[in-house]
Amino acid sequence: MKRYYNRRDFLKTASAGTLAALAAGAPMSGFLSSCSGKQGGADAVILLWMAGGMAHTDTFDPKAYTPFEKGLDSNRVLSTFKSVPTALDGIHFSEGLESIGALMDKGTLIRSYVAADLGHILHSRHQYHWHTCYEPPQTVAAPHIGAWIAQELGPKNPVIPAFIDIGQRMTVGEAEELKAFHTAGFLGSEYGPFMIPDPSSGLDAVKPPAGMSFSRFERRNQLYTDLLNQNIIGEYGSDYQKESFKRSMEQAYMLLKSPEAKAFDLNDEPKDSYDIYNTGRFGLGCLMARRLIEQGARFISVTTEYEPFMGWDTHENGHVRTRDMKKLIDAPVAQLIKDLDRSGHLDRTLIIIASEFSRDMVMEGRPGAEVKHQVDQPDVINDIKNYGMHRHFTDGCSMLMFGGGIKKGFVYGKTADERPCKTIEKPIRIEQVHQSIYHALGIDPQKHEVIEGRPFYTTPDGVHKPELELFA
């Protein structure tokens, strides 16, 4: 019988997995690697992460629109925004996403992503699953997809970190759960994310603090290295993990002294371009991602940031909050795609727009696997706060892909037009998504490491295949 873990179980086992990974020796590379796979069309990835659960029916897969009025039957409400045309004939987005919609002739729209059944739905568990492809908790610390890519392909530019995460603070909300998958796991610290919590002060992440000279910084860097043996890696880590941690510090130090560090300084961006991106931290993160791709970054994640009951985590006022989130993402995402296309980088850069699951007003979970409702919803709506998608829905989620060999002007999968608006054609799951990303990069589907005497694949058991229909 499958056990469903709660938050405390997740944290306890995740912590145990982290310590197990630290104590383990160096992972042994699998016999098959990317050299035996077909070269893909991409050499870089940008993941635009809609943290918190983006409702498909109010964004990229609109259904019948029912405007708000007092006395409205909840079951009648499928979409709370009007639909607007995109660049593809017959394909509509919901109102507020016109800029991205105008570029859909350049990318693929997936309307049939199905999130896993993980029991009582927790954002942290579904985010862990999406980013690592492994259901939590694990007995070892599973690497983030960006870490696998960094380890297998290495940096394009030796000065720019191969894996960069922009926009997620670890001081808000469920910080420990977020840390559980923002890691390279057993692959070692050198492949973990270079964290930029706030892109508006991104240069501060790669330069000494104010008032500190470079010589003083060099002495502090040496002291930091000396303190290695006094932290958790020094106490529990294997020689491999300790050396990997030192290499990660050396990489950061090399970046600090390089001219490429200017890519992190958004003050260099022309004002007219900066203003288009400047919708907030996410928009500026998209700008930084563009600048870093131009300097040779390999994998970048830009997030709207997960903070409970904020952003896309629309447990109340779903319509109003979704309207505000569209204002945050529409212009900068579209500008990122246009800028990379104009500079010639889009063909080699795979851009993914995704979220951990979708939302519905009535159902929590999916048909046949409904779980306990976490939000009350009256049968009759008399208050605007109850108008909008706020329950977690896992059986029909939207995802967008651009560049990197992906088809242009293509729609994959379909959801029902009536509640429950579930996937009815071509379901795609996280294992196929990950393998499709690896395929775009030319990484063999059998890529794995041997950890604690057993193979650990990029996707569970190494049996999953990419969805080739997505590729041109």
The residue that leads in pLDDT, 345 or 374, is: 345
CA-to-CA distance for 147 and 214, rounded, in angstroms? 30
pLDDT at residue 2 greater than cutoff 50:
no
The percent of residues in the chain predicted with pLDDT above 90, rounded, is 70
Confidence of residue 137 (pLDDT cuts 50, 70, 90): confident
pLDDT digits (tens, 9 = 90+) for 95-133: 999 999 999 999 999 999 999 999 888 899 999 999 999
Residue at 252 is within a domain = no
Residue at 19 is within a domain = yes
Residue at 154 is within a domain = yes
Amino acid at site 340: L
Residue 354 near residue 421, CB atoms below 8 Å: no
Of 397, 392, 316, the closest CA to residue 360 belongs to: 392
Average pLDDT over residues 154-160: 91
- Which is it for the CA torsion 233, 238, 239, 245, positive or negative? negative
The residue that leads in pLDDT, 36 or 435, is: 435
> Parallel, antiparallel, or unpaired for β 44-49 and 299-303?
parallel
The encoded tokens of residue 40 equal 């893909």
| 319, containing H or E segment | helix 318-343
Strands (E), 169-208: 194-196
Sequence-distant (6+) residues with CB within 8 A of 217 are 208, 256
Q: What is the DSSP letter of 443?
A: -
Helix, strand and coil in the chain, % to nearest 5 = 40, 15, 45
Question: Coil, strand, or helix at residue 352?
Answer: strand
pTM over 0.95: no
Average pLDDT over residues 329-348: 98
Give the model's pLDDT for residue 463: 95
Residue at 250 is within a domain = no
Sequence-distant (6+) residues with CB within 8 A of 390 are 314, 315, 316, 318, 359, 361, 375, 377
CA-to-CA distance for 274 and 168, rounded, in angstroms? 21
pLDDT digits (tens, 9 = 90+) for 55-92: 999 999 999 999 999 999 999 999 999 999 999 999 99
Residue 405 near residue 330, CB atoms below 8 Å: no
Radius of gyration over alpha carbons of the chain, in Å? 22
Residue at 192 is within a domain = yes
- C-alpha separations of 336 from 99, 131, 260, 362 in Å: 11, 22, 20, 35
Give the model's pLDDT for residue 35: 43
pLDDT at residue 293 greater than cutoff 90:
yes
* CA of residue 343 relative to chain centroid, distance: 24
The encoded tokens of residue 46 equal 């940008």
Residue at 344 is within a domain = yes
Please state which of the ranges 11-25, 35-49, 55-69, 252-266 shows the lowest mean pLDDT: 11-25
The encoded tokens of residue 226 equal 């000396």
Which residues span the domain enclosing 402? 7-203+263-450
CA-to-CA distance for 122 and 329, rounded, in angstroms? 24
pLDDT at residue 15 greater than cutoff 70:
no
pLDDT digits (tens, 9 = 90+) for 226-263: 554 555 545 555 665 566 556 655 666 667 677 788 89
Give the model's pLDDT for residue 216: 56
The encoded tokens of residue 256 equal 């600090």
Confidence of residue 31 (pLDDT cuts 50, 70, 90): very low
Question: What CATH number should be reported for the domain holding residue 124?
Answer: 3.40.720.10
**Continuous H helices in 232-280:** 232-236, 239-256, 271-277
Residue at 2 is within a domain = no
CA-to-CA distance for 157 and 420, rounded, in angstroms? 47
How many domains would you assign to the chain? 1
Residue at 455 is within a domain = no
pLDDT digits (tens, 9 = 90+) for 158-190: 899 999 999 999 888 788 888 888 999 999 888
DSSP letters for 89-144 = TT-EEETT-HHHHTTGGGEEEEEEE-----SS--HHHHHHHHHHSSPSP-SS-PPP
Amino acid at site 362: V
Give the model's pLDDT for residue 3: 44
pLDDT at residue 383 greater than cutoff 90:
yes
Q: What is the mean pLDDT of the chain?
A: 87
